[in-house]
Structure formats: C-alpha cells, structure tokens
Chain A
Amino acid sequence: MSTTQVTAEPGSHEITVTRELQAPPELVYRTFSEPDLLAQWLGPRALTMKVDSFDLRHGGTWRFVHVAPDGDEHWFHGCFHGESSVEAGITQTWEYEGVPGDVSLQRATFAATPTGTVVRLTSVHLSVESRDAHIAAGMVGGVTEGFERMDELIERLARG
C-alpha cells in the first residue's frame, strides 16, 4: 500500500509531497494535465472540483474552484511555466484567492518505477510563515489518524 510522504523541514520555505501510483508515467501525467481528469481526483472527497480554465502552455493560466458541501467556494489560480511534459514535469504558480499575493511555485515530476510512477510535488513559498500557514490551512477538517510513529518523525527531523 502506497503512502503519501510529506516533508516540511522546520525553518524551510519548501514542502515536498511524494506518492507512488500503480500506473505508467504517461497515464499519470494525463491525470495531471487534462482538466476533466484532474477534476476527478484533486482534493478531499467531500469537495467538488470545477476547472474554470486550464491552458497548459508556457505562460498559460489555470483556475479552479473547490466547492464544500455547505456551498462555500475556494478558488485557486496561477500560471504555467515552461513546456510541460511527462519528462519535464509541470511547473506552475499557485495562489489561493482568499489570500491574494501569497503565491507559491510548484513543480510536479513523474518518475518511472518497476511497478508504476513516483509523483513528487515540490513547492516553494515566499516565507517560512507563509509555508507554515499553508500547511496549517490543511488542518481545517483534517483527520488525525495514525501516519508515522513518533520515532519515524524524529528520524526524519534528525536527517533534515
């Protein structure tokens, strides 16, 4: 069973998310680069995602909304940078419209493994505070069930 790994070193501007998927990189890339597929998986199940625009070219813009069960809308938008491909990955900026100007830069890469693909999402934020606030926003409605044991957390912190 694949697990989602999140690394956020104390005092850093960066967050890394990695996950292995049981499908070849070309197919995984499609689920990141085709808006009708992307809308079927990005975000928690309780939210409905609608893609407003998605122009996957250098300088092209994207915008989508997550609609909560109570009708609350959370809009995000940004811009794509460079040529996107399964080899080069996808580089884009992100901004939550509730906090204008608090932009982060994310690169998604797709690496083949013997059984599938490892997706790595690296995002860099403008400040440590901004990064920490971004993580804290994920706590809202977050479920705290067993992830790693405490000693694994310490090991990881020690390596950092």
Chain B
Amino acid sequence: MEMVEDRLSTVFAALADPTRRAILAQLKDGAASVTALGRPFAMSQPAISRHLKVLERAGLISRARHATVRLSRIEGEALGEVRSWLEGYRQWWDDSFEQLDELLSDLQQDQREAAT
C-alpha cells in the first residue's frame, strides 16, 4: 500500500504541470516524437525532453527508438491508479446521491398526493 502511495505521489507530481498534461493529451492520439510534441509550445526541445523524462519516471509514458526518432507512448497503468484513487471517493458521493434521488422522488410523490 505504501509503495502504491509513493508511486501515486510521483504520478501526481508529474501531472501537476500543465505542459505535461497537455503532452499527455497529445499522446492520447498515438505515439509521437519530441519534435511533434514540442510544436504547440513555445519551448525548446531540451525543455520538452525534460518534461518527457518526468512523465517517463512516473510511468505515465514509455519512450523507444524507431529508426532515427525516439517516440513517446502513453502508458495506461499509472493513470489507472489515479482513476481508482478518485473512484472510491466518487463512489461515496454517487451512493449518497442515488439515495437522495429516491428520497426526492418520495418527497415529490407525497407532495402530489397531498395536493389531490
């Protein structure tokens, strides 16, 4: 459990930067080179490479050489951990709101019956 949390901290630190989140959003459409990834940003290639290194260390992407270019690819597992971390919390509220749906429906039924 502690190891999972440590890993989650690394993932969150990596996701805390808007440029890195934008890079991930780009990689959602498929693997890309550092040149392609850097295009939307007013940033030097070494700066983009540094962001890619942080994402790679967090396990959010993998990088492999294809012919002469190094392609970055998104890795789903680390993001899946983020999702399940939020999911339990969301489920807590979703369960609550489902009970609230039923209560509101009962209350409205009572109001309708009282009006007739």
Q: List chain A positions with a Cβ less than 8 A from chain B.
A: 2-4, 6, 8, 10-11, 15, 17, 19, 21-23, 27-28, 30-31, 37, 40-45, 121, 132, 134-145, 147-148, 150-151, 153-155, 157-158, 160
Contacts and interface: CB of A to CB of B under 8 A. Distances in A.
5 contacts: A40-B99, A44-B96, A134-B89, A139-B89, A154-B24
Given A144-B84, A147-B87, A157-B15, A43 B95 contact: yes
Interface in B37-90: 74, 76, 79-80, 82-90
B116 interface: no
B35 to A, nearest CB: 20
Q: Is the interface of B mostly helix, strand, loop or mixed?
A: helix
Interface of B: 5, 12-13, 15-16, 18, 21-22, 24-25, 28, 74, 76, 79-80, 82-97, 99-105, 107-108
A81 B116 CA distance: 39
A135 B8 CA distance: 13
